[in-house]
């Protein structure tokens, strides 16, 4: 199946350019609609959150109290940090108004007073693009007081992070925005949902950049129109942007309709480079790794990818060729989670450190036969016992690698070197040669 | 694991005495802070943006005096501000970094695309390891996690710009180019970060 471009169809950095491709027509349409009718269109569309969890978007929008007793907030998660993902970056850089328009529609539907777009501070090109788009929108009266004579006031601010993957987790993001260390907060059922008590204890709607960017298309063309895309899948509707990288000829963002085969996505990205396909991480570093056989079978959809044992995640799809050492790859994955663990809860803080240390001794040639079981045990004690999703996400890739490529671990431990003994595979090691300890 | 010694030159610096805190923000910085405060319902929420202002005002890092000034200006404690600042990797708390901060992504895609070779080259050229600064204070080298530009792997971040894909041959030219740039990319990044959070009308009012 070819690409199906909706969000990535146009590049329109300025308001003029965006208007020329029909920009802000959906917002005007929404302003003339009843608030509930806007939410109902989102419901009909079947849109699910594009930040990683795939939660139905309309439930969040509908969860904001209809009787307003406090200020309401809209928060856009633009902290894109999942290794392998770079779709929000392109959306903000190439069509910032599309994201802003989505936030404005959401703001209107949920009676919000203020919106924030929390962008990771490394993304300066995005921040500059979004900032100038917001400036243009204010200058035209699309933001600010009494928007288009409706009596509705809505302000939108850019807020930059300062370097932390964990701040992409929604409750940690709220902590960070409120001036704290980026650590997560207690969640439902032990605490109220953010739609009731989020930022400053007020109702807060949080969605990913791509999720917001879908809203103008849904309002403009109708929820049914949107839901017709991806109808071949169980419960995934519309299009999804996949950031394809790794050993492919044409890395980049590709927008496809749900129901597309994973192997078609690989074709779109120019096919595998430098050797035969060996593995794929389809949805960012947090999701389980697949072997070539599973890639051939996989259909892209939240439930469908689950059938081969992985997840859509954030859409950060990395393909690997035959020169990839899976143990070295998992060593680096473990290092990522160790460095990014916020340290709030013990299973993740200590566990991610151990996962790294064990991988480190294996790739240095000092692995022990009992290490495989030890890794499995540690993963089992992190998964489901951590305070937030980062802990689980640190365990899943390793559990999957041990299941899909067990022989690579066994070989490395037994021989003190990788089963993939090619010059290209050596690139993956920080130490020129594995050194015995 | 390394033990942190309070007296060690790389350890945790001492907080200044509250009576001795000298406020050094420029007029521009004070006005920027006032504008940013209007974006949030309370002062505490302005801690991150204010730390960015401070990092620029204090020359690209956050010495104890900078933490103290942020604490005074936002009416929070020194300990709270220091606690927040140390959580985030892009604030340089306590110790100066080079005029140019070169950050090498070695995360998954960059790893398989040769980032460690790029890193080796940089280390050899600059004579420093990750986390170190050259003696002349020009370069600091860091290993960072995914910069989320994996289509351009291997990727470097140098101040407010991404460079990628880089190959080993380009490294020498890059270093020379940066060395001859007398400005501080570290300060420029902090400045850009502050400015991106201000609205056009707020910027017009700032002199
Ligand atoms: C460790 C961790 C990191 C996350 N990082 C991001 C991120 O960078 N961007 C994002 O949109 N969601 C991220 N999420 C998911 C958010 O918590 C949240 O589900 C999402 O922002 C909700 O928006 P959506 O419903 O539109 O997907 C992360 C979650 C976890 C546990
Ligand atoms: S799981 Fe990890 S990131 Fe999440 S709260 Fe625990 S320590 Fe922090
Ligand atoms: S892995 Fe280096 S930018 Fe993503």
| Inter-chain touch B89–A329, beta carbons under 8 Å | no
Ligand 2 pocket test: which of A166, A339, A382, A396 has the largest number of ligand atoms within 8 Å of its C-beta?
A166
| Inter-chain touch B147–A122, beta carbons under 8 Å | yes
Is the CB of B200 inside 8 Å of chain A's CB atoms? yes
Q: Among all residues of chain B, which has the CA nearest to that of A136?
A: B200
* CATH code matching the domain that covers A15-227, chosen among 3.30.360.10, 3.40.50.620, 3.40.50.11540, 3.40.630.30: 3.40.50.11540
Give me the residues paired with residue B158 across strands: B102, B161
Could you state, in order of their start, the residue ranges of all structural domains in chain B?
1-96, 100-186
B137-189 confidence digits (pLDDT tens):
999 999 999 999 999 999 999 988 999 899 988 999 999 999 999 999 999 99
The pLDDT of A400-428, averaged and rounded, is: 95
Whether a cis peptide bond, with omega within 30° of 0, leads into A189 is yes
8 Å CB contact between A170 and A77: yes
CB within 8 Å of chain A, chain B residues 29-88 = 39, 41-42, 44-49, 51-52, 83-84, 87-88
| Inter-chain touch B150–A252, beta carbons under 8 Å | no
The pLDDT of A40-56, averaged and rounded, is: 96
Confidence of residue A435 (pLDDT cuts 50, 70, 90): very low
Does B29 score more than 80 pLDDT? yes
Is the CB of B128 inside 8 Å of chain A's CB atoms? no
How many CA atoms lie less than 13 Å away from A342 in the CB half-sphere? 29
CATH number of the domain at A326-426, please?
Answer: 1.20.1440.230
pLDDT at A1: 73
8 Å CB contact between A321 and A277: yes
Topology alike, domains B1-96 and B100-186: no
A6-21 confidence digits (pLDDT tens):
999 999 999 999 999 9
B86-125 confidence digits (pLDDT tens):
999 999 999 999 999 999 999 999 999 999 999 999 999 9
pLDDT at B168: 87
Whether a cis peptide bond, with omega within 30° of 0, leads into B44 is no
| Inter-chain touch B145–A332, beta carbons under 8 Å | no
Confidence of residue A182 (pLDDT cuts 50, 70, 90): very high
Minimal Cα–Cα distance from B7 to chain A, Å?
25
Nearest C-alpha neighbor of A200 from the set A167, A177, A220, A223 = A177
Does A83 score more than 80 pLDDT? yes
pLDDT at B2: 56
Which residues in chain A touch residue B161, judged by CB atoms under 8 angstroms apart?
124
Q: For chain A, what percent of residues have pLDDT higher than 70? A: 98
pLDDT at B3: 55
Does A137 score more than 90 pLDDT? yes
Q: Which ipTM value was assigned to this complex? A: 0.95
Burial class (CB in 10 A: 0-12, 13-18, 19+), A353: middle
Is the CB of A86 inside 8 Å of chain B's CB atoms? yes
CATH 3.10.20.600 segments of chain A:
239-321
Does B6 score more than 60 pLDDT? no
CATH 1.20.1440.230 segments of chain A:
326-426
Does A356 score more than 80 pLDDT? yes
Nearest C-alpha neighbor of A373 from the set A335, A333, A413 = A413
pLDDT at B9: 55
A370-392 confidence digits (pLDDT tens):
999 999 999 999 999 999 999 99
Q: By mean pLDDT, which of A333-342, A351-360, B2-11 is the weakest? A: B2-11
| Topology adopted by domain B1-96 | Arc Repressor Mutant, subunit A (1.10.10)
| Inter-chain touch A86–B88, beta carbons under 8 Å | no
> In terms of DSSP bridges, do strands A155-160 and A204-208 run parallel, antiparallel, or are they unpaired?
unpaired
Confidence of residue B12 (pLDDT cuts 50, 70, 90): confident
| Topology adopted by domain B100-186 | Glutaredoxin (3.40.30)
Does B204 score more than 60 pLDDT? yes
Which residues in chain A touch residue B52, judged by CB atoms under 8 angstroms apart?
121, 160, 162
Confidence of residue A35 (pLDDT cuts 50, 70, 90): very high
CATH 3.40.50.11540 segments of chain A:
15-227
| Topology adopted by domain A239-321 | Ubiquitin-like (UB roll) (3.10.20)
CA–centroid distance, residue A387 to ligand 2 (Å)? 5
The pLDDT of B12-38, averaged and rounded, is: 90
Does A437 score more than 50 pLDDT? no
Q: pTM of the full predicted structure?
A: 0.96
């Amino acid at each position: 199946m070819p690409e199906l471009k909706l969000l990535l169809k146009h590049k329109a950095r300025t308001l003029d350019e965006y208007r020329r491709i029909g920009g802000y027509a959906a917002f005007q349409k929404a302003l003339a609609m009843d608030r509930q009718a806007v939410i109902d269109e989102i419901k009909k569309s079947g849109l699910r959150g594009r930040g990683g969890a795939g939660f139905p978007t309309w439930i969040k929008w509908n969860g904001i109290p209809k009787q307003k007793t406090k200020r309401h907030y809209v928060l856009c998660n633009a902290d894109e940090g999942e290794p392998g993902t770079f779709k929000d970056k392109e959306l903000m850089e190439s069509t910032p108004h599309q994201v802003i328009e989505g936030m404005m529609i959401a703001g209107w539907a949920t009676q919000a007073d203020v919106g924030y777009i929390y962008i990771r501070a490394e993304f300066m090109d995005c921040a500059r693009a979004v900032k100038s788009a917001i400036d243009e929108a204010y200058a035209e009266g699309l933001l600010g007081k009494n928007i288009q004579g409706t009596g509705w006031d809505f302000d939108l601010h850019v807020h930059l992070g300062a370097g932390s993957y964990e701040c992409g987790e929604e409750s940690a993001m709220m902590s960070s925005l409120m001036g704290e260390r980026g650590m997560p907060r207690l969640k439902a059922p032990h605490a109220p949902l953010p739609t009731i008590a989020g930022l400053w204890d007020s109702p807060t709607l949080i969605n990913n950049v791509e999720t917001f960017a879908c809203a103008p298309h849904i309002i403009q063309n109708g929820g049914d129109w949107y839901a017709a895309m991806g109808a071949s899948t169980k419960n995934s509707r519309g299009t999804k942007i996949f950031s394809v990288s790794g050993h492919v000829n044409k890395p980049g963002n590709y927008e496809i309709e749900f129901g597309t085969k994973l192997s078609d996505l690989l074709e779109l990205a120019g096919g595998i480079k430098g050797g035969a396909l060996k593995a794929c991480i389809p949805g960012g570093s947090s999701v389980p790794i697949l072997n070539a056989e599973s890639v051939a079978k996989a259909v892209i959809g939240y439930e469908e990818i689950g059938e081969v044992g992985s997840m859509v995640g954030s859409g950060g799809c990395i393909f690997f060729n035959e020169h990839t050492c899976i143990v070295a790859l998992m060593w680096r994955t473990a290092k990522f989670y160790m460095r990014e663990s916020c340290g709030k809860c013990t299973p993740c803080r200590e566990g991610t450190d151990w996962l790294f240390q064990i991988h480190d001794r294996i790739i240095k040639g000092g692995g022990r036969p009992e290490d495989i079981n030890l890794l499995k045990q540690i993963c089992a004690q992190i998964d489901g016992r951590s305070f937030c999703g980062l802990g689980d996400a640190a365990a899943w890739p390793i559990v999957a690698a041990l299941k899909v490529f067990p022989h690579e671990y066994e070989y490395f431990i037994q021989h003190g070197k990788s089963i993939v003994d090619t010059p290209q595979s050596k690139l993956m090691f920080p130490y020129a040669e594995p050194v015995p300890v | 694991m390394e033990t942190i010694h309070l007296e060690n030159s790389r350890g945790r610096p001492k907080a200044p005495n509250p009576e001795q805190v000298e406020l050094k923000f420029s007029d521009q910085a004070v006005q920027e802070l006032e504008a940013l405060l209007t974006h949030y319902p309370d002062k505490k929420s302005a801690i991150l943006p204010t730390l960015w202002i401070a990092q620029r005002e204090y020359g690209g890092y956050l010495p104890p005096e900078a933490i103290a000034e942020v604490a005074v200006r936002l009416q929070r404690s020194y300990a709270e501000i220091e606690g927040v600042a140390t959580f985030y990797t892009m604030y340089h708390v306590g110790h100066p970094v080079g005029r140019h901060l070169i950050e090498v992504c070695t995360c998954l895609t960059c790893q398989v695309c040769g980032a460690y070779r790029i890193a080796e080259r940089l280390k050899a050229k600059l004579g420093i390891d990750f986390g170190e600064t050259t003696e002349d204070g020009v370069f600091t080298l860091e290993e960072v996690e995914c910069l989320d530009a994996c289509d351009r792997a291997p990727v470097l971040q140098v101040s407010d710009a991404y460079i990628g894909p880089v190959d080993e041959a380009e490294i020498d030219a890059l270093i020379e180019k940066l060395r001859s740039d007398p400005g501080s990319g570290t300060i420029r990044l902090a400045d850009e970060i502050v400015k991106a959070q201000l609205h056009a009308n707020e910027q017009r009012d700032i002199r």
